[in-house]
Structure 1
């Protein structure tokens, strides 16, 4: 956020929370969920977006409808073939879209696998300007309902965290995502740090910050602290590959270390030098993902163990 806009925002929240911390927290949540414009900024971003759009012209496009009138968008590569083949799901980070994930999609599709890439609400062809973790998890559930079970899922940044939240069955009314293998790239291991940093940035006081975090509970039925993907990794009986760069300036490498220390079936691969964004297109990363997914000795060896053992039905999607 530019300095002038941030100063105005902080002033606005200062005035609002002096009147009603609850309303300030509610407004802060709306701002937190506001997604960036889908229009690429800068020459490099425009070139990458243009190349991505050209690549995806040949993909099948499917709209995924979610509850509340929200919608997501899916691209399918290598779909419709007769016979059994691997099926992979790809999810993007905050402010991104499938146009920026084509190197990864192409690498996965090269094996002949069916590859499904989804644009979350507020991103890419899905349209809109609003997203939170609950909507991302429901998008993943909608993709599984539409295309069937996935052999593996690969997610970058927020998209990787969403895969973990979905796989752990953290939302009471959404069935746990059943992918056999999970790959996260530059992904956070828990969400509270984001809310704490955001609240500090816009100048929320203690009461308004509590109101902001309470919105998570009201929407999902879970406290913010419950969205701990690092802890969830230890509860899921499935192979997981964690890829991160120690020079990542957006998501600390400590999140990758938390995953690795979880005690679960986690393999850690350092992709140093590629930062947070270039990492999804880096050749060593693509090769490691392909190697991990092709390794038949790495198999899911037990049923999924949801992080929360609660009765529930799949939400209306």
Structure 2
């Protein structure tokens, strides 16, 4: 927030929480869930957005209903005859698929069907509202519409949402059922976001508690339960975590927590690419492609030869 806007907002919350911490908590939650405008700001962002839209111009487009809101999907290589790999891609907070076009088109170039998901309040989905529960339901809606995914790839908030989904943290939402996962610059838990947000608004303990209580009301789980660093241990499927130690938005400690959850998690450092450039960095794209191809290599190695030498007869 701009300094003046933040000062006014803090003043408003100071007045409201002095009267009703519960109302202050509810107002804070609505503000927390309000997404940035989809229109890019700044010349660099506008150029990147326009380039991404151009690269995705040939994709099919779909709208998915999600609890009174909607998600938007770009589908590449859809509708072809025969079985092909199917990948789901999710984006970070305040982003959208236009900014992930390099990753999306790289995946499509492998011949896979790619489902690139704009969460509610982002990209071409419309609206200005999103929380983790809605994101997980959007992932479930994409799988229900397009079928099971062979792999899921998410950046930042989108990666965390994929892990929350795969961990079946929301009991009333079907978990995503991919064989492999890629998390790029993704947080491993959510408590720090709410703590920093409450500190920014200068919420008092009662209002902060009211804010965090709404998470349980909306999702059925306490805020502290959204700890993907712990639940990742039960995933059991191969997970590639890519992070930059110079990431200024999501601490590299989140990647280390994922890596500590078990041998099925592989940590790869992409230092020098920060939080956003990491999505289109060529070394990162190459590593993702190689990781997704490993399953095919393993299957090829396990193929039993069709022709075998006949068993030698025992001598009489």
Query: What TM-score does the superposition give when structure 1 sets the normalisation length?
Result: 0.93
Name the structure 2 match of 1:315.
none
C-alpha separation in 2, matches of 1:231 and 1:299: 28
Name the structure 2 match of 1:48.
48
Give 1:121 shift.
0.3
C-alpha separation in 2, matches of 1:298 and 1:230: 29
Give 1:299 shift.
7.7
C-alpha separation in 1, matches of 2:21 and 2:36: 26
SS in 1 for 2:254: helix
Paired residues of 1:60 and 1:75 also in contact (CA < 8 A): yes
Bigger RCO of structures 1 and 2 (CA < 8 A, at least 6 apart): 1
C-alpha separation in 2, matches of 1:139 and 1:276: 24
Give 1:208 shift.
0.3
Give 1:298 shift.
8.4
Q: Aligned ranges for residues 160-309 of structure 1 at < 5 Å?
A: 160-296=159-295
Mind listing any 5+ residue stretches in structure 1 that lack a counterpart?
301-317
Name the structure 2 match of 1:305.
none
C-alpha separation in 2, matches of 1:264 and 1:185: 18
Query: What TM-score does the superposition give when structure 2 sets the normalisation length?
Result: 0.93
Change (3 A) 1:13 1:194: same
Name the structure 1 match of 2:106.
107
C-alpha separation in 1, matches of 2:97 and 2:205: 38
Paired residues of 1:216 and 1:222 also in contact (CA < 8 A): yes
Bigger CA radius of gyration: 2
C-alpha separation in 2, matches of 1:298 and 1:188: 30
Q: Deviations over 1:127-164 (max 9, x none)?
A: 00000000000000000000000000000000000000
Paired residues of 1:88 and 1:113 also in contact (CA < 8 A): yes
Name the structure 2 match of 1:32.
32
Number of residue equivalences? 299
SS in 1 for 2:234: coil
SS in 2 for 1:63: strand
C-alpha separation in 1, matches of 2:143 and 2:263: 24
SS in 2 for 1:296: helix
Q: Deviations over 1:226-267 (max 9, x none)?
A: 001111110111000000000000000000000001125100
Q: Aligned ranges for residues 21-100 of structure 1 at < 5 Å?
A: 21-67=21-67, 69-100=68-99
Paired residues of 1:13 and 1:202 also in contact (CA < 8 A): yes
**Larger deviation: 87-96 or 51-60?**
51-60
Paired residues of 1:156 and 1:185 also in contact (CA < 8 A): yes
C-alpha separation in 1, matches of 2:249 and 2:298: 32
C-alpha separation in 1, matches of 2:69 and 2:117: 14
Paired residues of 1:233 and 1:264 also in contact (CA < 8 A): no
Change (3 A) 1:299 1:118: farther
C-alpha separation in 2, matches of 1:241 and 1:219: 30
C-alpha separation in 1, matches of 2:185 and 2:102: 16
Paired residues of 1:186 and 1:248 also in contact (CA < 8 A): yes
Name the structure 2 match of 1:124.
123
C-alpha separation in 1, matches of 2:289 and 2:116: 16
SS in 2 for 1:204: coil
C-alpha separation in 2, matches of 1:296 and 1:56: 27
Mind listing any 5+ residue stretches in structure 2 that lack a counterpart?
300-316
C-alpha separation in 2, matches of 1:298 and 1:137: 31
C-alpha separation in 2, matches of 1:264 and 1:34: 37
